[in-house]
Amino acid sequence: MNRSRTAALVTWAYAAMFGVPAVPVAILLAEKGGLPSLWGLFDMYAGPWSSRFPDDRVVALLLVYFGLALAAVLSGWLLWEMRKAGAVLNIGLLPVEAVFWVGFALPVPWLFGIARVALVALAWPQLPGSRRQATAAATGRNRPSS
């Protein structure tokens, strides 16, 4: 499997593990007025924002975070299709996502972010339109055929 597709899989895993649950958490927060607990260990998405903002604003932030996760899913699909736009979108979303990771006190997505950066960087030369690929294609065209 190439690195672009591996980056897509890592992105999709991140979105499934952290973006998708934001919707049911937002619904529970709106209906019951409290964040659900993960196996009694800690409240989900309970970071600085949940203690500073009213519940309706936290619900809105959770839904925005879900939207960011959907954009990450789209970037994964573009990466799967070996599109340079997917790499640009994937990396471009990370700073915005990081704001939410801090606001919701999510420690694990940082590891996914590091993996995404590394995999996209490794995949970049193989993506259509990259300088390295263009150079290789031009060099291949100039070789005499046997």
Asked if pLDDT for residue 93 goes beyond 70, the answer is yes
Q: Is residue 138 part of a domain?
A: no
SS (H, E, C) 126-140: HCCCCHHHHHHHHHH
Q: Is residue 146 part of a domain?
A: no
The model carries a pTM of 0.84
* C-alpha to C-alpha distance for 11 and 35, rounded to whole angstroms: 25
Q: Is residue 59 part of a domain?
A: yes
pLDDT band at 118 (very low <50, low <70, confident <90, very high): very high
Structural domains of the chain, count: 1
Q: Is residue 142 part of a domain?
A: no
Containing H/E element for 145?
Answer: none
Task: Tell me the per-residue pLDDT of 8-57, one tens digit each, with 9 for 90 and over.
Answer: 999 999 999 999 999 999 999 998 877 767 776 777 888 899 889 999 99
Q: Is residue 140 part of a domain?
A: no
Q: For 62-86, what is the mean pLDDT?
A: 97
Which two three-digit tokens encode residue 107? Answer: 């420690």
Share of the chain above pLDDT 70, in %: 86
Share of the chain above pLDDT 90, in %: 71
Q: Is residue 141 part of a domain?
A: no
Q: Looking at residue 124, what DSSP letter applies?
A: G
Nearest CA to 5 among 62, 55, 66, 76? Answer: 76
Q: Is residue 136 part of a domain?
A: no
Which domain range does residue 125 map to? 3-131
